[in-house]
Amino acid sequence: MTTSGSIILNQLQISQKIRRIAYQIYETNSSEKEVVLAGIVGNGFIFAEKLMEVLQEISPLKVTICKVNIDKKNPLKPITTSLNVEDYKNKSLVLVDDVLSSGTTLIYGIKHFLDVPLKRFKTAVLVNRNHKKYPVKADFKGISLSTSIKEHIQVEFFAKEAIAYLA
């Protein structure tokens, strides 16, 4: 594992952030029987899977995972999910991505779910950057960073470890 930038979060820190966010999701949904984690394709889905593992360990919640297929380069293209609408309708849903940069991916993901009546709708990201183009926020975040527009945050998930770095 080699990185070409400075490390923002190492494996231990990422594990701690995942655990803390899982507890926050549980606290927010403690009166629910089920929560749906909708992970944006790629790292957002991997992050959602890691949150699901911890939630299943710490809570009695039934955790359903959903993959949100969104074209990050062209978010206006139709968005699809691995679940049918009936599977998340009137449930508590958390939209999950790894990094919130401009807000484009998250806002289009949110737009997709606005067509469905939900009991509760929250967002979770591992890294929140302060360069938003859209008025979107992360309800649950691992870390907030003020970086320059030219800087890029990369999160890499491997089988047994993860790392976030500034490139």
Tell me the pLDDT tens digit for each residue of 17-26: 999 999 999 9
Pairing mode, strands 153-157 and 162-166: antiparallel
155 pLDDT more than 80: yes
147 pLDDT more than 90: no
Mean per-residue pLDDT for 5-18? 93
Domain boundaries, the chain: 10-166
Question: Would you state the pLDDT for residue 38?
Answer: 98
Level-2 CATH architecture, domain 10-166: 3-Layer(aba) Sandwich (3.40)
List alpha helices for 29-61, DSSP H: 43-58
Mean per-residue pLDDT for 139-163? 86
Question: Would you state the pLDDT for residue 4?
Answer: 61
pLDDT band with cut points at 50, 70 and 90 for residue 134: confident
Q: What is the pTM of this model?
A: 0.92
Question: Would you state the pLDDT for residue 69?
Answer: 97
The helix (H) or strand (E) run that includes residue 38 is: strand 34-40
For residue 42, count other CB atoms closer than 10 A to its CB: 18
Q: What is the pLDDT of residues 63-103, one digit of tens each?
A: 999 999 999 889 889 999 999 999 999 999 999 999 998 88
Spatial distance between the Cα atoms of 132 and 15, rounded to a whole number of angstroms? 26
3-class SS shares of the chain: helix, strand, coil, % to 5:
30, 35, 40
Contact 157, 99 (CB under 8 A): no
Question: Would you state the pLDDT for residue 31?
Answer: 96
Contact 56, 37 (CB under 8 A): no
Question: Would you state the pLDDT for residue 119?
Answer: 96
Mean per-residue pLDDT for 38-42? 96
Spatial distance between the Cα atoms of 17 and 103, rounded to a whole number of angstroms? 20
